[in-house]
Amino acid sequence: MDKLIHWGIYENEILSKALRDFKYRGAIGFAEIFSDMLAKLVEPDIEKLRKNTIILAIPASKSRKKSRGYNQTELLAEKFFKKTSLPYFSDVLIKSRNTISQTSLAGRERLFNQKDSFSIAKPEKVKNKKIILVDDILTTGATLSEAARVLKEAGALEVTGLVVAK
């Protein structure tokens, strides 16, 4: 990952509760609020970003998406796209291997857990592009780093992680 943009700090009690409600308890209305915050962070650079930047979301496994009924990062990316008009593709970065929930793992275990868990379905969409990679929370960076590695191997010029909290 080349850059990281984040809005808040996860240790903030109110923000961490809102993120947990968004991620685990079906409070999908937070996607609108969080995407507003993220859009304001990139607003000063939006014209420059429009030239060669696309939005991707960290994908969830099919089983995780099915059990929750949604993928919170896709909701966040869709709302972010509507606010910025940057191109968004939900079918490019794919979760190619199921992983254990990161919440139960220590730092080094998180890195191994994510290794080779992503693939690129449409490399032509990322080749010679700058990527804004949307996720909800950054803890160790294992998920974003692994996704960024795969995107760079597919020809992405730059990968910027965009998260609500770290």
Q: Delimit the domains of the chain by residue range.
A: 3-165
What length is written for the chain?
Answer: 166
Closest residue by Cα to residue 115 from 102, 133, 128: 102
Q: Is residue 132 a contact partner of residue 56, using CB atoms and an 8 Å limit?
A: yes
Helix, strand, coil share of the chain (percent; to 5): 50, 20, 30
Q: Is residue 131 a contact partner of residue 151, using CB atoms and an 8 Å limit?
A: yes
Structure tokens at 54: 């696309």
Q: What is the mean pLDDT of residues 10-39?
A: 97
- In the predicted model, is pLDDT for residue 157 greater than 70? yes
User: What is the reported pTM?
Assistant: 0.88
Closest residue by Cα to residue 138 from 112, 110, 108, 164: 164
Q: What pLDDT score was predicted for residue 57? A: 98
What is the percent of the chain with per-residue pLDDT over 90, rounded to a whole number? 78
Q: What pLDDT score was predicted for residue 142? A: 86
Q: Is residue 4 a contact partner of residue 138, using CB atoms and an 8 Å limit?
A: yes
For 81-140, write each residue's pLDDT tens digit: 999 999 999 999 998 766 555 566 565 655 455 567 799 999 999 999 999 999 999 988
**What architecture is domain 3-165?**
3-Layer(aba) Sandwich (3.40)
